[in-house]
């Protein structure tokens, strides 16, 4: 894809991570400018946001509810929406973060949230075999913090996964989690409006709207090139995902459709629902292996919330295991190390799958075939977005296309490579302030030379890695970030790296095709600094490049794995109940036991929907 240089600078700037934002004065000025523009247009009646701040009743030192739910992310939002339909159940939702920012509903500007309090700002621990070219050799591990969780700051990519994914999930001893069981939930949660769709697999009345990404000529060229390379155009959330398509996004009339905006915002005034923001849960209260409440801190004070029926963790694949560990549920040796009394010796946090991604495949062009950069800050663009759902502000990081394929090493029929076409580059031209924070040596010697050219790129993701990481406590202090080990490329057979290299070659085949050749396409073939000893385009070169610049796609799962009691790794059963505990469930992506051919936001919504039905079945 191709991008006007000024747009490219805007987009790559907003991808900078939180740990560097305090020194980025220009970006803070941009955030303020966007905020002021939205406020002015709303005050003058030219746009209508339809947003009301979240209010909450006075807080008592001790309170009682039927259900206490921890975490207002994608799963928690769906869960609360459905449980609060039962008017005689009282529900408390506790969220560590605050409200969405004024710009988070705008797709083009929504990633600004990664610079703010909306990002936990996690960094993985330094490992020997990955992130060799990143600053401090530490991988950013982005996680949303606020009402809506990661659905406030993600790229809104709408992918479900495949039948094979969920049937494998069920086959591990988890009845009720096969594809035929879960398809009704995927249909229930969505309102699909894309023009080319597989209606026998799509939903049309749910809270999460599905629209195609904003398109320019470059998106059309990508489709043409992929079809010429042998791929069929598919609705990748239908019968099969193998093929190419315009990207499907969870947006509603052009605006972000997050857990907050589409699940919580419509029901936040229900009388049986209390939502408390900036409320950091420090531990679960447990007696005789029974959860009876939580302790949380708000405004510097400690409070207690009691649960008459259940405590439910929906804090996500990093925070849910941390809370369990702080509460005495987890590997005994780890708990004793921090002076925490062990209650249940479960393998919490001991396995974490994620999608390693190589996003710096770059290409230069002799002209631009995408939108005009000057449109992104015009009043007219904001007005068109809010009033008509149209215009360039519907673009999400210039993402337009997605392609799924099965590698030559795939053991089953499942697709294991994902290629995303992007209209910019996350390093070149950014003055080294992009999402992948490379060393100054790599920036100066590899990417700086492309700063004044039209640049496009592809991201290549490994969907079914053999390698996995883990989450551990760093401290018994609940406000100290846990240790996160990505564990990328640690499989002893080297299968993961081989599949990624195969994906890179396929992306190059498409991007260097005659369809893009009309626009003077050339690869950015200056060797990655640190890999120049290898011949460019050899397997050895690409392995070196991936180990230097491969990064997380932020799709964490399995830290509180689902499985039967006979599974030594399992933390919850197929009804989401923590093994050996009473009145304690986990409802988020941490329970997903197998890798998925999907980004994890839509599966997170699905887990929330199904979790609500499991609870209703039990108590009604």
Query: Please, which residues have CB within 8 angstroms of residue 14's CB and are 6 or more apart in sequence?
Result: 27, 30, 109, 111, 112, 114, 115
User: Pairing relation of β-strands 356-365 and 401-405?
Assistant: unpaired
Q: Is 522 exposed, middle or buried (0-12, 13-18, 19+ CB in 10 A)?
A: middle
Among the options 269, 481, 555, 579, which is catalytic?
555
H-helix or E-strand spanning residue 336 = helix 332-337
CA distance 167 to 110: 35
Q: Tell me how far the alpha carbon of residue 549 is from its chain's centroid.
A: 19
- Active site annotation includes 599: yes
Tokens describing residue 517: 């050749």
- Residue that is written with structure tokens 């990505």 in the block: 486
Tokens describing residue 150: 């990661």
CA distance 71 to 590: 13
Q: Is 348 annotated as a binding residue?
A: no
Q: Which is nearest to 606 in space by CA: 263, 106, 356, 120?
A: 263
User: Pairing relation of β-strands 584-586 and 301-313?
Assistant: parallel
CA distance 224 to 475: 53
Q: Which is nearest to 529 in space by CA: 439, 436, 428, 445?
A: 445
User: Pairing relation of β-strands 208-212 and 190-192?
Assistant: parallel
- Helix axes of 495-511 and 217-228: crossing angle, nearest 10 degrees: 110
Query: Please, which residues have CB within 8 angstroms of residue 225's CB and are 6 or more apart in sequence?
Result: 510, 511, 513, 515, 516
Q: Which is nearest to 359 in space by CA: 76, 232, 549?
A: 549
CA distance 456 to 426: 10
- Active site annotation includes 81: no
Report whether 203 contacts 186 (CB < 8 A): yes
CA distance 195 to 214: 13
CA distance 30 to 377: 10
User: Pairing relation of β-strands 62-70 and 91-94?
Assistant: parallel
Tokens describing residue 59: 């807080």
Q: Is 292 exposed, middle or buried (0-12, 13-18, 19+ CB in 10 A)?
A: buried
CA distance 403 to 534: 29
Tokens describing residue 149: 């969780």
Report whether 419 contacts 459 (CB < 8 A): yes
Query: Residue 575 CB: number of other CB atoms within 10 A?
Result: 16
Q: Is 113 exposed, middle or buried (0-12, 13-18, 19+ CB in 10 A)?
A: buried
CA distance 301 to 297: 5
Q: What residues are paired with 357 via a beta bridge?
A: 461, 551
Q: Where are the alpha helices (DSSP H) in 215-270?
A: 217-228
Which residues are part of a known binding site for FAD? Answer: 281
Which residues are part of a known binding site? Answer: 281
Q: Which residues are catalytic?
A: 555, 599
């Amino acid at each position: 894809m191709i991008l006007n240089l000024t747009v490219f600078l805007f987009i790559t700037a907003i991808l900078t991570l939180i740990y560097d934002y305090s020194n980025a004065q220009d970006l803070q000025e941009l955030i303020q400018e966007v905020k002021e523009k939205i406020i002015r247009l709303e005050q003058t009646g030219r746009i209508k946001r339809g947003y009301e701040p979240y209010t909450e009743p006075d807080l008592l030192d001790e309170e009682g509810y039927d259900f206490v739910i921890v975490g207002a992310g994608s799963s928690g939002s769906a869960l609360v929406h459905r449980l609060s339909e039962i008017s005689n159940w009282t529900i408390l939702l506790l969220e560590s973060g605050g409200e969405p920012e004024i710009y988070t509903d705008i797709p083009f500007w929504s990633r600004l949230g990664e610079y703010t309090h909306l990002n936990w700002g996690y960094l993985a621990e330094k490992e020997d075999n990955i992130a060799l070219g990143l600053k401090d050799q530490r991988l950013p591990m982005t996680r949303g913090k606020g009402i809506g969780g990661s659905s406030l700051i993600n790229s809104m990519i709408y992918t479900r996964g495949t039948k094979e994914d969920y049937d494998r999930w069920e086959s591990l001893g988890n009845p009720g989690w096969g594809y035929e069981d879960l398809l009704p939930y995927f249909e229930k949660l969505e309102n699909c409006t894309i023009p080319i769709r597989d209606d026998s697999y799509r939903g049309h009345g749910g809270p999460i709207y599905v629209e195609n990404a904003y398109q320019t000529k470059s998106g059309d060229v990508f489709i043409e090139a992929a079809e010429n390379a042998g791929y069929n155009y598919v609705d990748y959330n239908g019968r099969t995902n193998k093929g190419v398509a315009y990207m499907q996004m969870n947006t509603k009339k052009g605006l972000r459709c997050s857990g907050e905006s589409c699940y919580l915002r419509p029901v936040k005034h229900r009388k049986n629902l209390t939502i408390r923001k900036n409320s950091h849960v420090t531990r679960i209260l447990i007696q005789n292996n029974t959860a009876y409440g939580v302790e949380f801190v708000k405004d510097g004070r400690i409070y207690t919330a009691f649960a008459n029926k259940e405590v439910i963790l929906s804090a996500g694949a990093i925070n849910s295991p941390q809370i369990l560990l702080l509460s005495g549920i987890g590997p005994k040796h780890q708990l004793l190390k921090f002076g925490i009394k062990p209650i249940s010796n479960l393998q919490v946090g001991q396995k974490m799958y994620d999608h390693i991604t190589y996003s710096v495949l770059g290409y230069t062009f002799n002209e631009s075939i995408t939108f005009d950069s000057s449109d992104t800050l015009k009043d007219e663009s904001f007005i068109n977005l809010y009033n008509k759902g149209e215009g360039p502000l519907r673009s999400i990081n210039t993402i337009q296309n997605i392609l799924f394929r099965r590698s030559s090493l795939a053991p089953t029929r499942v697709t294991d490579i994902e290629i995303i076409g992007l209209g910019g580059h996350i390093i070149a031209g950014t003055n080294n302030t992009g999402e992948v924070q490379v060393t100054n040596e790599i920036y100066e010697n590899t990417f700086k030379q492309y700063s004044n050219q039209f640049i496009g790129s592809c991201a290549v993701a490994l969907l079914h890695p053999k390698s996995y990481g883990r989450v551990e406590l760093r401290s018994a202090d609940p406000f100290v970030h846990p240790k996160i080990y990505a564990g990328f490329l640690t499989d002893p057979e080297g299968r993961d790296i081989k599949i990624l290299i195969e994906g890179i070659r396929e992306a190059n085949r498409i991007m260097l095709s005659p369809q893009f050749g009309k626009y003077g396409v050339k690869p950015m073939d200056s060797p990655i600094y640190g890999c120049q000893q290898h011949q460019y385009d050899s397997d050895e070169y690409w392995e070196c490049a991936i180990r230097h610049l491969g990064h997380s796609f932020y799709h964490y799962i399995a830290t509180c794995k689902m499985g039967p009691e006979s599974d030594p790794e399992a933390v919850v059963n197929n009804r989401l109940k923590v093994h050996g505990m009473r009145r304690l469930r986990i409802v988020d992506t941490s329970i997903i036991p197998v890798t998925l051919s999907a980004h994890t936001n839509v599966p997170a919504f699905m887990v929330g929907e199904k979790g609500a039905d499991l609870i209703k079945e039990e108590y009604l």
